[in-house]
Amino acid sequence: MALITNFSYNSIVNNLDIIKRQDISEDFFCKNIYDNPTLYSIFNKLYLRKIYINAYILRNDFEPKYFKKVPIKEDKYTHVFSRGGKPTYHIYEDCQSLNNSYRDFVVPFIDPKRELTLNEVKLVKEFRNWFIYKDFRYKLESKNVKMDDIVFDYNNYFAKKHNLKTLPLDYTFKTNITNSGFIGIQSSFDVNSFKNEIEDILYASDIMCQDENLLKMRNFDWMRKLPKEELLARLYQIFDKNFIDNYGEVNIRDFMNKHYKLRESAFKKTINYLKWTYGLKNKSFNEVNLEHFGFKLCSFCETQSIAI
């Protein structure tokens, strides 16, 4: 019985392979997702696929044969404790890493925008070991040291030893890392207000897309950030050149941005509806499947299970 975070849940959604080439028909959508053909028409293939995958996972659990392994997160060497690695699952609901944020400490001599040399990686490893060996996290929490004590120690020992720039005394290593939190749904779900909100979105979309060309264009809002030349070249292939030239780049981008927001909102609401309908709150995932899929048990939960 495993619990996963929103981030992990989304990794699963993004790595399910079963319907790569299969289109979701209007009929299927109305029978299996939500009975509203207009809502169906607002989503393009990519969104429909994601919605279907959510419904599939929520209804069936999942079988590893359908999945690509989730990618292992790369270590960016920017923090003491966050080191990338396999995504994790949890077995205790009160696990501290399922909280919304946790404390970490910055590696002060790293420029995150630049690739590190092997020597720098070695130095980060040494810094992490030093920080942990000195037990600064615990000492700060228990108020046995203050931040400027750590800065003083760093300047006089670590920076000196490795010929690094010293830090100003008001420097802080401390930083809060926000994680995606325990996969959650609202404690209650009002189906009527969901229906009303969806109707409002569909009405707004309808008002925006009175013109036949605009109705078609709403499916191409993924182009909204393309550079001008590429955007126009692609649109000329799909639409009448006169329409594109008359409507103009600024209006096109504005339309795409506005419609994209509407669709994103409809998408999120539909996913929440599915999570609620299929009882995600009480859902737990199969640990063997998760491990096969590339997850590992979170280290906090592991320690707790040994202690029990």
The nearer residue to Zn ion, 2 or 58, going by C-beta atoms, is: 2
Q: What Cα–Cα distance (Å) separates residue 278 from each residue in 30, 67, 176, 283?
A: 16, 21, 34, 9
63 and 26 in contact (C-beta within 8 Å)? no
76-95 binders of Zn ion (CB under 5 A): 90, 95
47 is a contact residue toward Zn ion (CB under 5 A): no
Q: Which stretch binds Zn ion (CB under 5 A): 22-30, 236-244, 284-292, 299-307?
A: 299-307
In the complex, the smallest distance separating the C-beta of residue 244 from Zn ion, rounded to whole angstroms, is: 52
Q: How many CA atoms lie within 13 A of 202 on its CB side?
A: 16
The nearer residue to Zn ion, 95 or 185, going by C-beta atoms, is: 95
β-bridge mates for residue 85, sequence order: 73
Question: β-strand 296-297 against 88-89: which pairing, if any?
Answer: parallel
Q: Which stretch binds Zn ion (CB under 5 A): 56-64, 110-118, 153-161, 298-306?
A: 298-306
39 is a contact residue toward Zn ion (CB under 5 A): no
The nearer residue to Zn ion, 51 or 301, going by C-beta atoms, is: 301
Pick from 78, 81, 83, 108: which is nearest to 172 by CA?
108
91-150 binders of Zn ion (CB under 5 A): 95
SS (H, E, C) 117-185: CHHHHHHHHHHHHHHHHCCHHHHHHCCCCCHHHHHHHHHHHHHHHHCCCCCCCCCCCEEEEECCCECCC
Count CB-CB contacts under 10 A for residue 161: 10
Q: Which helix (H) or strand (E) holds 48?
A: helix 45-60
Pick from 25, 13, 179: which is nearest to 103 by CA?
179
152 is a contact residue toward Zn ion (CB under 5 A): no
For residue 274, the Cα-to-chain-centroid distance in whole angstroms is: 18
Query: What is the 8-class DSSP label of residue 188?
Result: S
In the complex, the smallest distance separating the C-beta of residue 89 from Zn ion, rounded to whole angstroms, is: 8
Alpha-helix residue ranges (DSSP H) falling in 159-308: 160-162, 191-208, 212-217, 228-238, 241-247, 249-277, 287-292, 299-307
The nearer residue to Zn ion, 99 or 193, going by C-beta atoms, is: 99
Q: Which stretch binds Zn ion (CB under 5 A): 21-29, 205-213, 281-289, 297-305?
A: 297-305
Q: Considering only residues 51, 53, 271, 301, which one is a binding residue for Zn ion as defined by CB under 5 A?
A: 301
The nearer residue to Zn ion, 105 or 295, going by C-beta atoms, is: 295
Applying CB under 5 A, what is the total number of residues that bind Zn ion?
5
The nearer residue to Zn ion, 19 or 91, going by C-beta atoms, is: 91
In the complex, the smallest distance separating the C-beta of residue 180 from Zn ion, rounded to whole angstroms, is: 13
In the complex, the smallest distance separating the C-beta of residue 91 from Zn ion, rounded to whole angstroms, is: 7
300 is a contact residue toward Zn ion (CB under 5 A): yes
298 is a contact residue toward Zn ion (CB under 5 A): yes
Residues near Zn ion (CB under 5 A): 90, 95, 298, 300-301
